[in-house]
Structure 1
Amino acid sequence: MMTEDFTFNNAAVPSDLRRYIKIVEDGKKEKKKIYLPLLLVDEMKSRINDLIEINSTTKAVPFTISYDTITLRKFRIWIHVQAVIYSLKHFGFSEQNLDEIKAMFVETGLHILALYILVPAFHLSFEVFAFKNDVSFWRGKKSLAGISRRSGEKNAMKFLSYLLYPLCISGAIYSFLYLKNKSWYFWIINGLVSGVYAFGFLSMVPQLYVNYKLKSAAHFPMSVLLYKGLNTFISDVFSGIISTPGPHQLACFRDDVVFLIYLYQRRFVFDLLQQNRFEIETTIIIKNLQRNFIFLKTH
């Protein structure tokens, strides 16, 4: 309910407020026409999760009415926000989609809403930077040493398939027996989506296997993986803020696991071995040069 005093010209009442202005007579002898306080039903706080199912056995339901004051500026902004959200129905948005959009405005603060705007911009920027660095890496690559070959990929895919195939099949069977599915179509789609997430993980692992075999990760572009790693952490944040299915959240953390394993390979294990090997080979070469120099000097 708006309690703020305001004045409009009779011929210039804002169009968005006209349907909310109720004009009545004051009941006195002068019969002055006055308007009632503007009242806005806040449909943004009406969520699907708050609805109560009513059937033939329902005898009583809780009913609570709450009201608060609102300024004219916020009143007009809220009108336009509600109109925009409900206009999305014409573009094929379902009630569930609209409910999630409502939650962005109602259940989160302004700082979270600002993150919804800023974080996708960073996400897109990191994708562009990753693509740019990836192109630069392959353009300047003169040797394919260390890059995953078919033999290495086949071995990695073979070992991981022994684990992922049974997991996918057992997950589909568990969903069919113990979880509630709306239809056969719904169960098949869920199984296929889980399979896509699993094989997405499978396609990311062969390079880790090749790194393990080569005992080095220095041949892979660090900048590309850094940008992609930042994007995975951004996806983690959004999967926690926005209500997403469980498999999608697991897929976000799946990318984190691969990225952390790569960092471990690059920083703590393999590159240290490569560095030690290089130092040993350099020392041997220097000693051989010194020995040859001494031999030539004595003769």
Structure 2
Amino acid sequence: MFQTIIQGLAIFMLTQFVVNQFFGSKSQSGGAAAPKQNVNFDERADVTALTNYSHVPQNIAPIWPDNSVIDIRMYVSPQLSLPALSTVPKESLVLDEESFGMGNYEENREVHTHIAIPTEVQHNATLWAHFYVALAGSEIDPTSPNYDPHKATHFKRPLNQFLPKKKARKLKNLLEKSEEPEEEEPEEVQGVQIASYYHPNFTVAVIPNTGVQSWRQMHPALRKNIVLEPTGQRDASGQNGWYYPVVFLNTFWQLRSHMTELNDTVKEMPLNIQLYNLANWKYNLLASIDEGMKQNQAQAASGTPMPGGGDGSEFEKFKEILLDTNAYLLGTTFVVSILHMVFEGLAFKNDISHWRKKKDNVGTSVRTILANVFMQTIIFLYLVDNSENTSWMILASQGFGILLEAWKITKTVDVRLREPGPDSKFRGILPYVVVFEDKHKLTEMEKQTQEYDQIAFRYLYIIAVPLLLAYAVYSLIYESHKSWYSFVIETLVGSVYAYGFLMMVPSLYINYRLKSVAHMPSKALMYKFLNTFIDDLFAFTIRMPILHRLATLRDDVIFFVWLYQKYKYKVDYSRVNEFGQGGEDEDGEEEEAKKEDGKKTTTGTKALESQGTKELKSSASASSASGAQANAGAKKRK
């Protein structure tokens, strides 16, 4: 979900950049970019008299005023062109609106009807929507003698879309033995299959105030909706032409999940049309994004790898969020998603920093780290096994987590390849085995940590193994799987989701026995637990399986137990603790303490020197005084 939101925002920001790049300079009419030269569209020049006539216009201007009143008709047919409208079957006419005001944003008309699906369309032909637009009261039929191309136009747009089929996963109950061998699919069906899909809801948007536009610099997504004046008329310069009002068949909000595949079984489908005026800037945004999405879908259908992985449906999920979520809840989701990424990055940073500074194994559960490597590897294999719609960014993130946990192992013990010993059960089976050796001679506290870790995992096995076996038996009997390999991976992943929080229990047990949490990466744990609260928010606001919802709530129990332990076993960060570690500013505090001791020593030395000087002076003065008195007595005696 986080990945989908961020990718959607990235697409939105990129589209905004494109729109600002090509449509940043707006004309006063609020339309497209203003031309780079002065254009006079007041009079149409005689094409035959122009010596500098341009077949491709440089700039184009609206052929009708912005406040025109128009008539719109829409016919549905598999044919590329229609004969005289009087001969077209009445059931083909699905939209017939008169006196529709361009620029009047209060105009909102709706049509709800049903259309028959022709046989050609059932067999992958295109179902066309033929639009006929004319100034109110003008002739709208191009075959009529009174038809004036300066007052009417017509064009067509497809109603169905050709999209790749979703790959159906072959699942079976592994305990059931099929008497008939499974038939292999023919080779031509192994690749991507394209099918025709139909969505019943369409919005026909008239775009007013489009203004003068540069035809040669126009975005392709916008150019495809422009209908130029067909006679090739130009102004006096011979470089500039005209275009009809933009009528946009908006399919941006059509979701793949709401579409129906057209085949022999589909005889009739509903058709709901909404006719309204759409602001020009909204049209630029929706048309650009919609065109980009269709290009991604076409790229995925051709088998070309998508940037970032996936199958081009990530933005489809983002649209589902926009449609199905309250605006306030959506804003909250956006904020907490950003916070989630920030906390995740800070947790990684502080976790790595803590383990880089760690110099002993006191309080460290090596078995827990090994279990984390195993569980994250299982999740990685599960993502690979279901990699049809998995982005490579998700796989890369999971792989980085595995490398981080493996690096922690190298910080606690030395990993070596050794030949199996004479008493090893792998002797004669494997040429080498992985051995974990202590980095140094263990202290008494480190030996206690290993003992407590062993005790904790002994009880953990008693609880976890029966639960794992029970879940495996249930999954084997009542669920379907692709293969035995998928069964093993999915069973282990389900156990990780359900019982993964048990891996934190040994660390809590070690904290309890050591009566300390000084060895724990406090900052990293705080950021991780903040993320669990964010996951709790999503657990209540987003649809998800019950098992996954419980998995987001389980870590809260561990968090509160750890908070109690942190309160119970307080750490004095002003000193180096019993594990050879200090607080954040341990080195700085030691230097300050040394400076303070130095100042005290210097002050004491100066005081002693001063005191000694005074004593010497007083003794000298006393000696001189006694000498003077002796001289005075001698004189008296004389």
- What TM-score do the two structures reach when normalised by structure 1? 0.67
Distance 1:72 1:240, change over 3 A: farther
Distance 1:240 1:95, change over 3 A: farther
Query: Is 1:271 matched with 2:569?
Result: yes
Higher helix share: 1
Deviation at 1:19, TM superposition (A): 0.8
Query: Which residue in the other structure is 1:14 paired with?
Result: 218
Rounded to whole Å, the distance in 1 between the matches of 2:275 and 2:327 is 21
Contact 1:2 1:39 in 2 (8 A): yes
- 2:339 is aligned, of 122, 125, 132, to 122
Deviation at 1:110, TM superposition (A): 6.3
Query: Which residue in the other structure is 1:178 paired with?
Result: 478
Rounded to whole Å, the distance in 2 between the matches of 1:12 and 1:174 is 64
* Equivalent residue letter for 2:224: R
Contact 2:222 2:288 in 1 (8 A): no
- 1:71 is aligned, of 276, 279, 287, to 279
Query: Is 1:230 matched with 2:230?
Result: no
User: What does 1:279-298 correspond to in 2, within 5 Å?
Assistant: none
1:159-217 CA-to-partner distances (Å, cap 9, x unmatched) read 122222222232233334334x3633654442232134356433322111112323443
Deviation at 1:108, TM superposition (A): 3.9
**Unaligned segments of structure 2, at least 5 residues:** 1-204, 231-240, 366-448, 573-638
Query: Is 1:81 matched with 2:289?
Result: yes
Contact 1:156 1:206 in 2 (8 A): yes
- 1:4 is aligned, of 208, 227, 232, to 208
1:205-258 CA-to-partner distances (Å, cap 9, x unmatched) read 211111232344355343222111112223334455565555444433233332
Distance 1:10 1:229, change over 3 A: closer
Contact 2:344 2:531 in 1 (8 A): yes
Rounded to whole Å, the distance in 1 between the matches of 2:328 and 2:463 is 42
1:63-121 CA-to-partner distances (Å, cap 9, x unmatched) read 43344432111111112222333444351523764532332444346666666665454
* Equivalent residue letter for 2:509: Y
Distance 1:186 1:241, change over 3 A: farther
Rounded to whole Å, the distance in 2 between the matches of 1:151 and 1:69 is 74
Query: Which residue in the other structure is 2:173 paired with?
Result: none
User: What does 1:45-60 correspond to in 2, within 5 Å?
Assistant: 45-48=254-257, 50-51=258-259
Give me the identity figure in percent: 33
Rounded to whole Å, the distance in 2 between the matches of 1:190 and 1:53 is 31
* Equivalent residue letter for 1:192: L
Deviation at 1:262, TM superposition (A): 1.1
Query: Which residue in the other structure is 1:103 paired with?
Result: 320
Bigger drift between 111-120 and 162-171 goes to 111-120
Describe the SS at the equivalent of 2:277: coil
Describe the SS at the equivalent of 2:206: coil
Query: Which residue in the other structure is 1:40 paired with?
Result: 249
Describe the SS at the equivalent of 1:38: strand
Instruction: Indicate the RMSD between aligned Cα atoms, in angstroms.
Output: 4.0
Deviation at 1:266, TM superposition (A): 2.6
Query: Which residue in the other structure is 2:463 paired with?
Result: 163
- What TM-score do the two structures reach when normalised by structure 2? 0.35
Higher strand share: 2
Bigger drift between 111-120 and 220-229 goes to 111-120
**Unaligned segments of structure 1, at least 5 residues:** 26-31, 276-299
Rounded to whole Å, the distance in 1 between the matches of 2:492 and 2:228 is 59
Which structure ranks higher in relative contact order (CA pairs < 8 Å, sequence separation ≥ 6)? 1
* Equivalent residue letter for 2:208: E
Rounded to whole Å, the distance in 2 between the matches of 1:153 and 1:205 is 10
Rounded to whole Å, the distance in 1 between the matches of 2:262 and 2:461 is 49
Describe the SS at the equivalent of 1:6: coil
Choose 1 or 2 for highest CA Rg: 2
Distance 1:58 1:42, change over 3 A: closer
Rounded to whole Å, the distance in 1 between the matches of 2:353 and 2:267 is 70
Describe the SS at the equivalent of 2:247: coil
Query: Which residue in the other structure is 1:278 paired with?
Result: none
